[in-house]
Amino acid sequence: MEYTQLGRTGLKVSRLVLGTMNFGPQTDEPDSHAIMDAALDAGINFFDTANVYGWGENKGRTEEIIGNWFAQGGGRRDKVVLATKVYGNMGADGAAWPNHDKLSAVNIRRAVDASLKRLRTDHIDLYQFHHIDRDTSFDEIWQAIDVLVQQGKIVYAGSSNFPGYKIAQANETAARRGGTIGLVSEQCLYNLAERRAEMEVIPAAQEYGLGVIPWSPLNGGLLGGVIKKEVKGGRRATGRTAETLADPAGRARVQAYEDLLDKHGLEPGEAALAWLLTRPGVTGPIVGPRTAEQLTSALRAVELELSQEVLDGLDEIFPGPGPSPEAFAW
C-alpha cells in the first residue's frame, strides 16, 4: 500500500479509503468485519463513514458495526484513521426534529457524542461536514469545532460536497479567528464520467491545502465494466447507470471506454481508480466494497500504472470541463 499526507497535515493515510456505506444495508456485520480486517491487512488505514449510514430506521447502524469491530481489540482502533460525518437528521423517530440536523453548535456537539458512543472510541480523527449549512455561520461552526478539539474528541475537520467558494469561506474564517487550521480535506463527487469538480472544487482545495477524497469513483458502477457484465448475464444496471445506458450517446461512450481498456488488457473498475490516483490533489478515492472480492479488485488499482496512450484515450472519451473561468467564459 502507498501512503500520502492528508492535505497540508502531517497525517499519513493510505491512497485508498475504505468506504463503509454498504455496511449494514448491503453487507451484514460478520462480512463487514471481515472486509475491515482484510483492508487493514492490506495496509488501508483510512476508514470513512457517516452518522446517517444505515439509513432510514437504521441510521447509525454502520457506525455501530465499526465500533463493534474496534471493540475486538488487536490494535484495530490505533491503526485506523477514522473519518465520519455530521449534517443529516438523526432524530430517533425519523422526523426532522429541530436541532437534530445540520451544523449548529448544538447539533455538532450532540452528533459528536452520539458518534463516539456508536463507534466505541474516545476520538474521531477527521470530522467532516456532510453538506453546507446555509443557515449557520462559519464563526459558529468553528467555535464548536475548537471546543471539540480542545476536549480531544476530534483531531481534524473536513468538508464534503462543498462548492469551491464555501471551501474558501470556511478557511478564510478559520484564519481570521485563529486557533484552528480550518478544513484539511474535501470529499467530493469525482470520477472519469463526472469531472465538474475540476472547475472550482479541486483548485480551491489545492489552494487551501486540502486533501481531495473522491466519492463514487466508479460513478455508481457505470465505470466498472457494466456493459461487459450485462453481456455476460450478470447484474443489470439500475438507477442513473441504467438511464445513461438507455441513451444511445451515453451507451456509446461507455462502450468506447470498455473497448479501450479491453484493448490494453485492463479491468474497467481498476483503471477508473488508477486514473483518479494520477489526478492532481487527490489523496485517495473511496472504495465501498460489498464483498471481499471487490476489495481485492480495488487494491490492484494502487499498483496499476496507466500508459500515456491510455490516459489520452480516457481524456478523449471523457473530456474534463477545463479550468474555471475558461470552462464557461474566455
In a domain, 257, yes or no: no
Q: Given 3-state DSSP classes, what are the helix, strand and coil percentages for the chain, each rounded to the nearest 5?
A: 45, 15, 40
Q: In which band, very low, low, confident or very high, does the pLDDT at 230 lie, cut at 50, 70 and 90? A: confident
How far apart, in whole angstroms, are the C-alpha atoms of residue 245 and residue 255? Answer: 9
Using alpha carbons, select from 100, 152, 91 the residue that is nearest to residue 125. Answer: 152
pLDDT cut 90: percent of the chain above it: 88
Q: In what order do the strands lie in the sheet with 17-19?
A: 211-215, 183-189, 154-160, 124-129, 81-86, 46-48, 17-19, 286-287
| pLDDT value, residue 95 | 66
Average pLDDT over the chain, rounded to an integer: 95
- Residues 188-209, mean pLDDT to the nearest whole number: 97
Lowest mean pLDDT among 46-60, 85-99, 205-219: 85-99
CA dihedral 11, 120, 160, 152 (to 10 degrees): -50
State which amino acid sits at residue 248: P
In a domain, 137, yes or no: yes
Q: In which band, very low, low, confident or very high, does the pLDDT at 238 lie, cut at 50, 70 and 90? A: confident
Q: In which band, very low, low, confident or very high, does the pLDDT at 94 lie, cut at 50, 70 and 90? A: low
In a domain, 261, yes or no: no
How far apart, in whole angstroms, are the C-alpha atoms of residue 7 and residue 241? Answer: 32
| pLDDT value, residue 240 | 81
Q: In which band, very low, low, confident or very high, does the pLDDT at 153 lie, cut at 50, 70 and 90? A: very high
Domain that holds residue 77: 3-220+267-307
Question: Is 53 noted as a catalytic residue in this protein?
Answer: yes
What confidence tens digit (pLDDT) does each residue in 131-147 have? 999 999 999 999 999 99
210 DSSP assignment:
P
3-class secondary-structure state, position 54: coil
Q: In which band, very low, low, confident or very high, does the pLDDT at 188 lie, cut at 50, 70 and 90? A: very high
| β-pair partners for 3 | 14
Number of domains the chain contains: 1
Q: In which band, very low, low, confident or very high, does the pLDDT at 179 lie, cut at 50, 70 and 90? A: confident
| pLDDT value, residue 247 | 87
- Helices 61-70 and 29-41, packing angle to 10 deg: 60
| pLDDT value, residue 33 | 98
What confidence tens digit (pLDDT) does each residue in 46-65 have? 999 999 999 988 999 999 99
In a domain, 312, yes or no: no
In a domain, 41, yes or no: yes
Residue in 53, 156, 190, 257 annotated catalytic:
53
In a domain, 172, yes or no: yes
| pLDDT value, residue 257 | 97
Residue 189 has pLDDT above 90, yes or no: yes
Cell of 33: 468485519
In a domain, 255, yes or no: no
Using alpha carbons, select from 83, 1, 72, 89 the residue that is nearest to residue 32. Answer: 72
Using alpha carbons, select from 70, 66, 64 the residue that is nearest to residue 19. Answer: 66
What confidence tens digit (pLDDT) does each residue in 95-126 have? 667 888 999 999 999 999 999 999 999 999 99
| pLDDT value, residue 234 | 64
Q: Which residues contact 76 (CB under 8 A, 6 or more apart)?
A: 36, 40, 69, 70
How far apart, in whole angstroms, are the C-alpha atoms of residue 160 and residue 188? Answer: 6
**CATH number for the domain including 197?**
3.20.20.100
In a domain, 256, yes or no: no
